[in-house]
Amino acid sequence: MLSKEKWKRFLHDKKWFLLTLIPAAALLWCCFVYIDMTQTPLKSLDISPASDPASWRFTLADGTEVSPQGDNLLLPPDTILYCSRDLSHLELSLTSTAILTMNRFGCDAAVLSDGKLLADPSLRYHPAEGRFDPGSQPAMYSDIVTLGSASELTLALSYPEGMASIYQLPSLALYSDLTSYQSQAMAATAQDALPAGVLLAAALFLAGLFFFQLYHNKADISLLLLSLLALSFGLERTVSYGAYGIWFLQSPLVLVGLQMLPLALSLWALWYHLAGRVRKWGVLLPSLGSLSMIIGLVWRLIDNQGGAAWTNLLLSRLLPLALLVSLLLCAHQARRGIAYYRHYFLLGGVLLLLFVLCILFSLAGDGFLWSYVCSLWEDTRMLHSFFFLTRLANHLLLLIFFLLAVYDFVQSIVRRNSELQLLTVQNRYALEHAAYLRRSLDETYAMRHEILHHMNALSALCQEGDLQRAYQYVEHFTGQIRRAPGRYTDHPLINALVSYCQLQAQKLNASFQASVQVPQHIGIVDADLAVLLSNMIDNALHAVASLPDPQKRSIQLKVEIFENAGLFVSCTNSFSGGLQRNEQGDFLSPRRREGHGQGIKAMRRVAEEYNSVLIIETQENLFHVKSYLYFKKDASRANG
């Protein structure tokens, strides 16, 4: 459990991230609403006489009312029946472009609006005489009529063979305007076109990432696999449309191949991120699966009946079983700590949880998702095949793969940005200390010039015999030398850095102790050494400068060779106030502005570069940081 302080720290560090979740959630909600709008037709109203006979009035040509007896409405042949309904109190608001659709079977029909003839689909109705011309036997027709904002609707119907039930009456659907009617046709195609478009966009995005990495000589073949996987799902959904214009898509071989391709590619995508012996032997699953698919397609080409039995077995049993075994291997890799599959199953669990929540919300609403799951399970039981469930699992796998690919891409950008920040810090410290070395060299030349003048002055005093003034002059000159930075080691960079720390500590009236035992050449690159020591010294000086009492200011440096195998670097300083940590437990710098706040990251990077770790400890009011850097053989030559 996280403590209250950790929660406060987490909320403080992630406040901007948490705030951006609100517009992100709103955008995601808008996307789902848009998808639902494209796949769901707009509201229509069923006003069929069979569904609501009480709202209709049935009369004959002479005005005699006819009342159905239950479902029965007995009429002799060629009888004209008038069905009228009031439209002024409908749930749907009618506009001037309101649409009426009518499906009729075995009857002639005419549509009247407010007593006037609106449409005569049969082309045989005479409104003045109220009759239909005799003609050929009516068949099933679907008629579309612009009804407008009528207050009463009347149907004139003629059944040449008579009728016996109200279910023989035409079915009617009313749409408030042309847009709502068109949404019926759009929704049916959107259910296939929109997912296919999403899959195509995912395929193009993954392919773009692959070529972007290929351009920078860091290609990840798994991105190409995922791109092909998304493309195969898209082709599987759109092949029914392409079959009308592309002849070879009408082949059963193509259809079966597109059904099996996502399974085979999923096996390769799962295998790609395996490691160790599991990866070595796990390649058998995708290899055998791909080979079996090719054999099945060739077999069907030669012997359709025998090949069909083999491909059906592949789809219903063997490939789903191979996918299950691959998932078990991936779970084993996640248990062993492979980072990719740990993220994989964590993300998969989150998606499954969201799917379950969606089903629960669906149960509270229209129950569409629950009905879909039930129908999927019934199809699986009826066909004795797990292929339908496998397709659903494959869609989930593709979604996880896609999200992980995007996550890795974003992480690579963040990692590169962090490396650039560390390089900026390293360059800044290198420039600062190069300037300090130049100043030290200039001061040395100036001191040599001053010593020459001091020697001339002492020589003149000695010649005059004024020994008292000569003694006072020597004392004053000795004090200046003692205040000058000392020489700690033959290593020029370490000596300059430690001397710099001594000078700054003197300016702060801080106690300074240094133990330095380093030869002139060591197996550590000067740039790395400068980053490590410079950050230690800079952080220590900043910490002691914030102490109000000079008596409590102290810095202790220790730089020593240990067993001729590495360099031990340690810095201990006093500090006051509390220290903040991030969610990983790392200390945060109080100077988190541009150019600062990256020191600990830079020191940790240098330690890892030399197969070591950076250890940070606190004890009461002392801050202690240390590391042991193992020598590199070529580092001393690079420094030389």
Q: Convert the pLDDT of each residue in 454-479 to its tens digit.
A: 677 777 767 777 777 777 777 766 65
Distance CA 69, CA 276 (A): 79
Say which CATH class 45-176 falls into.
mainly beta
Q: Convert the pLDDT of each residue in 73-101 to its tens digit.
A: 788 888 888 999 988 888 777 778 888 88
Q: Convert the pLDDT of each residue in 587-623 to its tens digit.
A: 555 554 444 456 787 888 888 888 888 888 888 788 8
Tell me what pLDDT residue 236 has. 76
Phi/psi at 111 (5° precision): -110, 125
Report how far apart, in Å, the C-alpha atoms of 269 and of each of 102, 174, 572 are.
Answer: 52, 50, 50
Give the mean pLDDT of 412-437. Answer: 69
Give the DSSP letter of residue 250. Answer: G
Indicate if the pLDDT at residue 304 is higher than 70.
Answer: yes
Tell me what pLDDT residue 31 has. 65
Q: Which residue has the higher pLDDT, 95 or 330?
A: 330
CATH topology of domain 485-640: Heat Shock Protein 90 (3.30.565)
Give the DSSP letter of residue 247. Answer: G
Band of pLDDT at residue 211, cut at 50, 70 and 90 = confident
Give the mean pLDDT of 293-300. Answer: 89
Distance CA 97, CA 110 (A): 19
Give the mean pLDDT of 127-138. Answer: 78
User: What does the mean pLDDT of the chain come to?
Assistant: 79
Element (H, E) at 510: none
Indicate if the pLDDT at residue 246 is higher than 70.
Answer: no
Tell me what pLDDT residue 436 has. 64
Q: Convert the pLDDT of each residue in 419-431 to its tens digit.
A: 777 667 666 666 6
Tell me what pLDDT residue 37 has. 63
- Identity at 191, one-letter amino acid code: Q
Tell me what pLDDT residue 596 has. 45
Q: Convert the pLDDT of each residue in 361-387 to its tens digit.
A: 777 776 667 777 777 777 667 666 677
Paired tokens of 17: 């991230």
Of 81-90, 152-161, 628-637, least confident by mean pLDDT is 628-637
Q: In sequence order, what DSSP letters do the residues of 401-431 get, joined into one string? A: HHHHHHHHHHHHHHHHHHHHHHHHHHHHHHH
Indicate if the pLDDT at residue 451 is higher than 90.
Answer: no
Tell me what pLDDT residue 408 has. 82
Q: Is 572 helix (H, G, I), strand (E, B) or coil?
A: strand
Q: Which residue has the higher pLDDT, 247 or 389?
A: 389
β-bridge mates for residue 515, sequence order:
558
Indicate if the pLDDT at residue 581 is higher than 60.
Answer: no
Give the mean pLDDT of 499-512. Answer: 86
Give domain limits for the chain: 45-176, 190-417, 485-640
Tell me what pLDDT residue 589 has. 55
Band of pLDDT at residue 291, cut at 50, 70 and 90 = very high
